[in-house]
Structure 1
């Protein structure tokens, strides 16, 4: 009878092993699909947040500091995220190897339980979706697991030998993968407790050692060093305080070491391996469905997608996305939307066909954060404000934890070339020449250092020399207005100024600028939006109708709109009717769209 049960258990193990491999393959394919179809632009955006330079000096700079090796490997891999599919595949490979290593570390004779490794991998995946979490957080975790697997194989050695190996391994991990030596010591303590019990308190020695080391680092090196080299903060941006999801993968590993045997014993009560698998899949599915939408930074995905389109000047794609997914109060996204309208030459014609939220939708307020720097440098550059494009590129670039951001460095090259600051441009060109993705572009710019005429004929630069830097010009907050006043024939700048005033509901300002432009005979083909704004001014400035020739159909529409708006109908009912007829009109925007300062 015993032999029958043994045979059944063996068959169940074989079946469970096959099911586990199927789960691994399906999980890999599912993760690749998610990364490609939902988080594709997150991966592209990560590549924009660093600049990996192929120089010995840069390598020595990283490798000479604790944790430098995993940081170097992480940055090296991320540079290839610019290539479609490569980032997805690399991340899935790293997570799969991590899961297999955890399986090897925690499994007992019974292999039916896979929930712990899946949960740890899931939390690492969630952390990866946060731009404040560095890829070295996954690579360092993998290095730590490899060290733990080696340590797990020496459990038959004397405690003194094990302790010596722990100390040497911890020091090695500190140098190549700080702060993962902390996780290593904690998990070693869990392994000691599992394999040898309390052992007269000796099993707690690793925990005692890392606690003392952490305390000494905090006292003598300060909180900053403690966060970087001891705490989990070292794998995140120091500008944030890591949330609980960042700690989950660290906490679950020692928990898995200690409690996986108990879970395995519980699952032995279920004889059919398929039922065990289904139970765990349902539990994991519930965790993923509940936690992923809450912690995957989904609020930032529209910006990352629009940023990708803007970087590659895919203006039609931006407008298509904004039409399908109307934007709300994200000014950076609205800036990309309206920049696309301007580049297509239809800013005034189609302004209110898209969501608008005041003048900041054209030019976001400067809040000194990197995404806003990315946006404003593009807005200024495409409108011809080279000096301010240079300013925002520089402001954004100083926030980089590497040698800079690719797009800000490229902007600094272009703006410095246009401003004639060739020595400064040469410095940034040199950085880009040492990269994988931007060397070809940088080599082309290098030729322009000695050939200004060819540069000015390049479509990338032609017509961009609009504003020469002069003393204290950065004190002006409305430089695009200055440029618009200097060049009345520039339609793009003209529409920017007039649309900005209309979005801000500044009708007197609009009238002044409209009159300024109307004196120029080149102001032809006036958009309906401007005529609608003139009609909105008419009740307070009656001579508008005599000064300007407003089409009859615009007058009739305004009369109908005013009649309904002034009627005694219920406010909600009135708005509903006007929305159905006039939602794209300036009058509807003026009355029903709330802007920030109102």
Structure 2
């Protein structure tokens, strides 16, 4: 490697760290939670039994450090810089020109772009590195043993790195033809050996199916489509063809010509990087990933203070409302934010890992333990085969709550085999087979009382409203559950059920005081009866404001103005305004 290439790779490494840190800060901890590296011989054995097992093992070992900031950007930048280095060394075996940075960096660019997708596994980048390493060795071996090396390394590469072996076979074949190798025609057998390795591996159980044995889908979430996943596979053989084609042209001789030629390539490269990041980088998801990180680490004040009214989605509203519930502010501040029906409290179930995790958090906060456990298990089994540490923690909590101590013990043992979660797991051992410790714990004790009320119900409820109506009288200290129950009813404009609930539960230990929003809903229950309002706990302040609101609605309507517009500034955060003018999404 000459001095120019060394400087280029160092600058590339530093530039990637800066881009990852400032634009994709929360991508790496978001990815980390979807796999769980374990320091056990069993985990090692089970991982290596898979096609591409070595790549999986290395990628999951490295990914566990993503929970620590800066490590994710550094690790990813290092891996991608090695891709750039090895691919350029291979391409220079075909064309030794040193003035083709755009072409030499195309494989790197293709991997950079897909690395920004949270559904892409780092296993794919590790596998690509193994491909480049073995291909670089192939290009440096003497002709006499090169063919034997190629035949032998293909099944080995399949076992180490998975379906990337097919790209190796194609690239080795291209290299032979483009360099006019003596065994270029017989090298076609590489394709056959790669195909046979994949087919045999599938039938022997090393790959789950032929699709994952042949295609790059093996390196991403099988339930999602990763945009650009095939570009990385196209990039290497295409650049080999390009550099071979450019051999017929001489590089510029004059200094000015060299500057213009290379400068134009770098300008195009910067444009491609810019477009790639903004087109494939899912920058709009970065705010949600930050929210998810703050949720996961229970930084509720930051979730609330950093909520961006200009970047709205139902998922972001769900996380915000969850933070408000944990801070005891959901009922009080519900309409300070743009609510649109019950899906801003709980998303529609879409079968995804991410929604399962959020549902588990929501149900756990409400005190509906069986549903929290169900969705935690759903997310756990839908993650990578190694597990999901975030949801494993939830499964430990729910099994401690329900008294399923042998299962909780099993999960604690799993989590103790990790690096960053073992202390948390060990700290929860004190609850095993110790009902008194569980019941005296501030959180677990209250959740157990909720679970007992849920378990003793005459029937099984499948929706949160019915479940909360059943368990709240038996678990009056579940304040988050009450806040969610009333919020569900109000945002759904289910005034009749709200009235029945208020008449049966208000002034009991479960519901001692009403917020202004809850009082405003009482006015809707009987809009023409101020005496009813006062009997049901409406304050004089809210009563007077309700009368003024009704009068203004009449006056504005008679004047021909749009009341939704005219009343927004003064009454936009009241339940009356929401009830009359908000087009909710059920």
Please, what TM-score do these two structures have when normalized by structure 1?
0.88
Q: Which residue of 2 aligns with 1:8?
A: none
Between 388-397 and 405-414, the greater mean CA deviation after superposition: 388-397
Tell me whether 1:464 sits opposite 2:447 in the alignment: yes
Q: RMSD of aligned C-alpha atoms?
A: 3.0
Q: Which residue of 1 aligns with 2:553?
A: 562
List per-residue Cα deviations over 1:514-540 (Å, max 9, x = no partner): 222335388555322123223334447
Q: Which runs of 5+ in 1 are unaligned?
A: 1-12
SS in 2 for 1:196: coil
- Alignment: residue pair count: 574
In 2, distance between residues paired with 1:340 and 1:248?
40
Is the Cα contact below 8 Å between 2:367 and 2:478 reproduced in 1?
no
In 2, distance between residues paired with 1:301 and 1:563?
45
Alignment map for 1:225-264 (pairs within 5 Å):
225-243=209-227, 245-263=228-246
SS in 1 for 2:382: coil
Pair 170,279 (structure 1): closer, same or farther in 2 beyond 3 Å? same
Q: Which residue of 1 aligns with 2:567?
A: 578
List per-residue Cα deviations over 1:72-124 (Å, max 9, x = no partner): 11111111111121111111111111110011111233211111343322221
| 2:107 corresponds to which of 115, 120, 143 | 120
List per-residue Cα deviations over 1:394-453 (Å, max 9, x = no partner): 222221322421121111111111111111111101101111111111112223214443
State the shift of 1:300 in Å. 3.1
State the shift of 1:495 in Å. 2.1
Q: Which residue of 2 aligns with 1:147?
A: 134
Tell me whether 1:527 sits opposite 2:515 in the alignment: yes
Between 398-407 and 531-540, the greater mean CA deviation after superposition: 531-540
Between 406-415 and 460-469, the greater mean CA deviation after superposition: 460-469
In 2, distance between residues paired with 1:403 and 1:212?
28
Alignment map for 1:398-409 (pairs within 5 Å):
398-409=381-392
In 1, distance between residues paired with 2:567 and 2:7?
57
Between 485-494 and 79-88, the greater mean CA deviation after superposition: 485-494
Please, what TM-score do these two structures have when normalized by structure 2?
0.89
Q: Which runs of 5+ in 2 are unaligned?
A: none
Is the Cα contact below 8 Å between 2:50 and 2:207 reproduced in 1?
no
In 2, distance between residues paired with 1:581 and 1:326?
21
Is the Cα contact below 8 Å between 1:196 and 1:203 reproduced in 2?
no
Tell me whether 1:440 sits opposite 2:433 in the alignment: no
State the shift of 1:270 in Å. 6.9
| 2:462 corresponds to which of 476, 481, 503 | 476
In 2, distance between residues paired with 1:360 and 1:447?
38
List per-residue Cα deviations over 1:260-302 (Å, max 9, x = no partner): 2444765724733333332122111222222322212334333
Pair 537,261 (structure 1): closer, same or farther in 2 beyond 3 Å? same
SS in 1 for 2:230: helix
Q: Which residue of 1 aligns with 2:28?
A: 43
Q: Which residue of 1 aligns with 2:47?
A: 62
In 1, distance between residues paired with 2:201 and 2:369?
47
Is the Cα contact below 8 Å between 2:55 and 2:161 reproduced in 1?
yes
List per-residue Cα deviations over 1:198-225 (Å, max 9, x = no partner): 9784454434554566678889999952
Q: Which residue of 2 aligns with 1:516?
A: 504
Q: Which residue of 1 aligns with 2:176?
A: 192
Pair 188,590 (structure 1): closer, same or farther in 2 beyond 3 Å? same
Is the Cα contact below 8 Å between 2:50 and 2:206 reproduced in 1?
no
Is the Cα contact below 8 Å between 1:537 and 1:544 reproduced in 2?
no
Q: Which residue of 1 aligns with 2:336?
A: 353
Between 196-205 and 85-94, the greater mean CA deviation after superposition: 196-205
State the shift of 1:459 in Å. 4.4
